[in-house]
Amino acid sequence: LQRDASSKFGFSARNTLAIAQSLYERHKLLTYPRTDSKCLPEDYIPNIKSNIKGFADGISSSSLDQQVIDSSSKVIANDWVKPNKRIFNDAKISDHFAIIPTGKIPTSSLKEQEQKIYDLVTRRLIAIFFPSAEFETTRRITRIDQDSFLTTGKVLVTPGYLEVYGRKPGVAAEKDELIAAETGDQAKAIETELKEEATRPPARYTEATLLGAMETAGKRIDDGELKEAMKERGLGTPATRAAIIEGLIAHKYLFRHEQQKRDLVVSNKGLALIDLLESIGIDSLTSPEMTGEWEYKLKLMEGGDLSRDVFMSEIKKLTEEIVNRTQEKMTELANRVFKDLQATCPDCQGNDLKQTDGSYECKEAECKFKLNKYIASHEITPDQAKTLLEEGRIGPFESFKNRFGQAFTAELALEQGARGGWKPQFIFEGDEEREDEAKNLTDDQLLTEAELPDGTAVKVYETDRAYICPEMAANKQKGGTRLGKEILKKELPKDQVIKLFTEGKTEVIEGFISKKGRPFRAHLLLDKSTGKLGWEFPPRAKKKASTKKKAAKTKSSESEKE
């Protein structure tokens, strides 16, 4: 359920579990959600028939999709709910059976996210009783001159269980589906194109794929007994996997990709932890074998084949080994000596830089140049530092983080300041284009003139996409102050832009849309000394006292008079 909700709706595992728990506890629409069972009790057939018949009867509810009603009717009409060990199997049920609808029909009061999770569970229950889907597999060879090209694909012929999800025969909804060709059909090559591509690394994990990997971690174990112990468990349980992922994010070992929100990225801290554990030699903490071995021994204890004292003794021994190896490694790290960085100091042109735990520093006594090893949570490796010093630029890197812990992508450049010192500066996508744009402005694009705090008159220009004041702000070398014509989905009125640059504040502007999709109104502010934008929100209207409160107050006053 967590994987499907992540793939279809982008829900986090924690959010899905919370919604399912609400549907169980508050709405009484789903059975117990914190289960790892995929089967139902063998005596549950009458209950399932009753549940599906309730859907088939088309009970008035805005929360029931017509496809659910029609599919339920088909299951009942064909008497498809029958004994089946794949579905009804007492041997594969532990404390709780699979998540299913309780049979209670939902009302329109469900929230959108709750409705989506309920719909997923309901459709899955109905779909398992449908026959298999049937595809027509196509293998097509196309000949152009002396060359042959192989194309493979398939076309849906009989929807089967896919009918519950709205699929129809012949509809190519999947990328690998291929419309069947009739005998004698002729193909014509309209255009040919040669593409040269390189092999790609594996895709990043999303929550959906990571949950799948955690569920099937036993498939990565070679030892047969350990694999069997992990077969039904994997890493974690349905109730704990969401917390494991969220814990890794909370402790900064993972973060969600800035653009591809569903992608999970290992942070420098996470990589450093893996490197540390591997260098210490604690392999048991970086592979599923340890969990598999513990699960296997727990099963032995359940069967009386292993005593608790022996198990706890082994746990104690492993813990002591981990602590001892960690202490040895910490001592080694404290006494380590770094190699000098073979690069020229940009400040004094001296040879080689001293490397410490946290920086690269010039070895000349009178030179103060220093480059931090960690910039916005990204570690500058010796190779990267050498390239930065020699070429003045490295990146882009996706692992930078702002002060709120949010990841961002940028290049890093080494630039000399007005006073001669050297500082690393971020270069974002589009920075150079904006700088060039600011250099090529013409008088035809002049919008208005403004005045800086020191009395300097500056010009404000209008381009196709923005308003630009090249002489305003401390970052003049990157094009000065640039204001997009649209902010938070609101196109800025031109008269308010003029007011902003000349007076530093607009009137209240309606129609901004927050990142959460909520409309709001606000003043825009401009600090002319820095070019930074700000917000000022108008005071909210005071809420009127409710009728009940007024009535209570009146009644109280009358009582006092009496």
Q: What is the DSSP letter of 135?
A: E
The SS3 of residue 95 is coil
Residue 205, strand partner residues: none
Return the amino acid letter for 252. K
d(CA 252, CA 268): 9
Q: Which helix (H) or strand (E) holds 397?
A: strand 393-401
Return the amino acid letter for 81. V
Contact 264, 206 (CB under 8 A): yes
Contact 133, 173 (CB under 8 A): no
Q: Is the dihedral of CA 429, 435, 440, 442 positive or negative?
A: positive
| 356, two tokens | 């410490």
Contact 490, 513 (CB under 8 A): yes
Q: Diameter of the chain by CA atoms?
A: 108
Q: What are phi and psi of 397, to 5 degrees?
A: -120, 145
Q: How crowded is residue 343: how many other Cβ atoms within 10 Å of its Cβ? A: 18
The residue from 32, 165, 253, 296 that is catalytic is: 32
**Distance of CA 397 to CAs 94, 265, 380, Å?**
47, 12, 10
Contact 28, 102 (CB under 8 A): yes
Residue 520, strand partner residues: 512
Q: What is the DSSP letter of 171?
A: -
Residue 353, strand partner residues: 341, 362
Radius of gyration of the chain (CA): 33
Query: Residue 376 region, left (φ>0) first, then alpha (ψ -120 to 50), else beta?
Result: left
Q: How far is CA 480 from the centre of its chain?
A: 34
d(CA 158, CA 136): 9
Residue 266, strand partner residues: 254
Q: What is the DSSP string of 24-67?
A: HHTS--B---S-----B-GGGHHHHHHHHHHHHTT-S-TTS-HH
Active site residue 165: no
| 348, two tokens | 């004094």
**Distance of CA 254 to CAs 206, 248, 249, 285, 400, Å?**
11, 6, 5, 17, 13
Buried b (16+ CB within 10 A) or exposed e, 181-213: eeeeeeeeeeeeeeeeeeeeeeeebbbbbbbbe
Contact 122, 105 (CB under 8 A): no
Q: How crowded is residue 314: how many other Cβ atoms within 10 Å of its Cβ? A: 14
Catalytic residues: 32
